[in-house]
Structure 1
């Protein structure tokens, strides 16, 4: 299979070094060249650039750039496309604060590491932006009175309730 030459060009632009598939990658190195090629071919250059930007321009993501991380970030860029396009700097701040290496370590034993990473990183995104950051704005009054959750109030893993 021929790898699209844009993969190595774009990786060099984001200071990611592609290493041989038999070597163990170091910081800012990857051997997931086929994965990156597939993402580029399926999703296009703009999408691929955002994936590379998310993993390369944030502090906690460049330690282990494997296929599961690239696919997970690609899935998240698709899922939160509006957010990525309108609040890019905040998007990168979320990834700066996420302990991606630790999350990869947790997911390593799971059969579906990609989807586990998507879930764990989605929790971080929703916690930062709030669960309704992309909901359409309502013009009619609400029928039921509810208290909206604001960013930072959506605690999935920080359970504070106790049994009586």
Structure 2
């Protein structure tokens, strides 16, 4: 039985849960069991941060699958203090990450969730880590 809060909170964030046999579109997911597990294991505040991260950033709404949800959940758990101190910057960081492209890269790997966590964590550390203000001259992602 899926916790009814999953449906109501998803609706609040504009995420539509579709049938498991359907291919989800923009802002849609069929990962209802994953959502329920995250809510049950981590609590409502954590769940809301995960949904906020995927739903309130333009670059993450394309394919909200179980791997992305668990990856974001892992990152929210790891960087909770950072998120609470800089919620807007957290969302900007995710908005600038090419999440869809990273999902495609991870798709070919055995442990998609963990590959995605690593690739996204690298982006977070570059934005918020100790050398965040110091750009890498040879980085293809440097600002013009």
TM-score by length of 1: 0.81
Closer, same or farther: CA 12–117 of 1 in aligned 2, 3 Å: same
How far did 1:129 drift?
Answer: 1.1
Give the length in aligned residue pairs: 139
Unaligned runs of 5+ in 1: 133-149, 160-164
Are the equivalent residues in 2 in contact too, given 1:127–1:153 (CA < 8 A)?
A: no
Are the equivalent residues in 2 in contact too, given 1:7–1:40 (CA < 8 A)?
A: yes
Whichever structure has more helix as a proportion of its residues is 2
Q: Is residue 52 from structure 1 mapped to residue 51 from structure 2 by the alignment?
A: yes
RMSD: 1.4
Report 1:5-24 matches (<5 A). 5-24=4-23
Match of 1:137 in 2: none
Q: Is residue 153 from structure 1 mapped to residue 115 from structure 2 by the alignment?
A: no
How far did 1:152 drift?
Answer: 4.6
Match of 1:126 in 2: 125
How far did 1:153 drift?
Answer: 3.2
Unaligned runs of 5+ in 2: none
Q: Is residue 3 from structure 1 mapped to residue 33 from structure 2 by the alignment?
A: no
Write out per-residue CA displacement over residues 72-100 of structure 1, whole angstroms, 9 at most, x where no aligned residue. Answer: 00000000011011111100000010010
Match of 2:90 in 1: 91
Q: Is residue 114 from structure 1 mapped to residue 113 from structure 2 by the alignment?
A: yes
